[in-house]
Amino acid sequence: MAVNWDDMRVFLAVARREGLTGAAKQLKMDPATVGRRINRLEEEMGARLFAKSPQGYAMTDQGQRLLAHAVQAEQAFGQAIEQVRGQAGKLTGTIRIGAPDGSANYLLPQICADICDENPGLEVQIVALPRIFNLSRREADMAVTVSRPAAGRLLVQKMSDYRLHLAASESYLKSHPEIRTLADLKDHRLIGYIPDMIFDKELDYLKELGTENLTLSSNSFSVQFNFVRQGAGVAIVHDFAIPSATGLRRILTDQLSLTRSFYLVRHADDARLERLNRFSELLGRRLRREVARLEALS
């Protein structure tokens, strides 16, 4: 039996997106066409690959077995393309990065734009979501995280440390009581993450203050940062974000200073993909340099 590799691409997309709609968007196809392709593949394989329901497409045991082989074939195909193109050339194709919105908004845009300028055939997609990305389902080719994953078949590369401090706008500080010590914060409006939506323990900054008394909160750092820019209160912010706004000032730097780290995480199956290896090395080097540059300005 001969199976069309293009049908395998459709199978992988449905498996990773758990449905026709997401797979169709990825493949730039009509959902009905994707459904027909899956039906055809199941007929050719003589097995049900998905259990279909209103909630989506869940893989059957047969589908899980096929998935392992399809991923290996995908990796082999990618390696073959790289070898034919040669490793000395420019980076090409599409690379998707999942990242928390702090790095996605204040670091990755300028870094990835520069890399694309140097590699005209490269397309970089940044998915900015406050959650952990599932690389096994290929939600992204790689992900920026703020803690080192403890499980899974993953390649983990530490990229850079970064610092955070309390900050507020000059307008807020002028119109509210002076802040001389951490204890004075009880009389001020605090801004931070919604406690039950913190997806990584490294983001639970307010534990450092011993309080959860928030007036304004969001699951997005960018929203918190904009609260601060608007003079709404005091928050713990990334030093590398401060230069992007005017009229902000770090406070109590001698009493509270946090250090966190960025890691670049990839699926272990991608270890032999030279294109991703080269991009990862380049991204890590540029990110370290950009963090140092922006922190020096804050």
Q: What is the CA radius of gyration of the chain?
A: 23
Q: How many CB atoms lie within 10 A of CB 235?
A: 25
Clarify whether residues 149 and 286 are in a common domain. yes
User: What CATH number is attached to the domain comprising 34?
Assistant: 1.10.10.10
Give the Cβ contact number of residue 136 at 10 Å. Answer: 15
Specify the 3-state DSSP secondary structure of 24.
helix
Consecutive 10-residue averages of pLDDT for the chain (298 residues): 75 85 87 89 88 85 84 69 60 91 96 95 88 70 91 89 97 96 93 90 83 86 97 97 96 96 91 89 96 95
Using an 8 Å Cβ cutoff, are 256 and 267 in contact?
A: no
Same domain, 13 and 78: yes
Full residue range of the structural domain in which residue 168 is found: 162-259
Look up residue 256 and give its amino acid. L
Assign residue 275 the CATH number of its domain: 3.40.190.10
Instruction: State whether 291 and 205 are in the same domain.
Output: no
Same domain (yes/no): 77, 99: no
- The answer on 105 and 148 residing in a single domain is yes
Decide which of 35, 52, 85 is a domain's last residue: 85
Are residues 234 and 167 part of one domain?
A: yes
Give the model's pLDDT for residue 84: 61
The encoded tokens of residue 185 equal 């914060």
Per-residue tokens: 48: 């049900």
Please check whether residues 214 and 269 belong to one and the same domain. Answer: no
**Domain C-terminal end among 85, 110, 142:** 85
pLDDT tens digits, residue range 51-60?
888 878 888 9
Q: Are residues 194 and 113 in the same domain?
A: no
Q: Do 272 and 151 share a structural domain? A: yes
pLDDT tens digit sequence for 141-197 = 899 999 998 877 889 999 999 999 999 999 999 999 999 999 999 999 999 999 889
In terms of domains, do 229 and 254 share one? Answer: yes
Contact between 243 and 263 under an 8 Å Cβ cutoff? The reply is no
Q: In 3-state terms, what secondary structure has residue 218?
A: strand
Do 168 and 242 have their domain in common?
Answer: yes
- Residue 224: CATH number of its domain: 3.40.190.290
Q: Are residues 39 and 71 in the same domain?
A: yes
Provide the b/e sequence for 65-75 (b: ≥16 CB within 10 Å): ebbeebbeebb
DSSP assignment letter at 279: H
For residue 205, CA distances in Å to 159, 185, 222, 295 come to 21, 14, 15, 19
Are the CB atoms for 159 and 283 separated by under 8 Å? yes
Identify the CA nearest to 107 among candidates 239, 282, 297, 290: 290
**Contact by Cβ (8 Å): 280, 91:** no
| Contact by Cβ (8 Å): 166, 205 | no
Distance CA 191, CA 11 (A): 44
Task: Give the model's pLDDT for residue 59.
Answer: 86
Q: Count how many domains the chain has.
A: 3
Question: Tell me, what's the pLDDT at 292?
Answer: 96
Strand pairing report for 93-99 and 122-128: parallel
State both tokens at 223. Answer: 């929203």
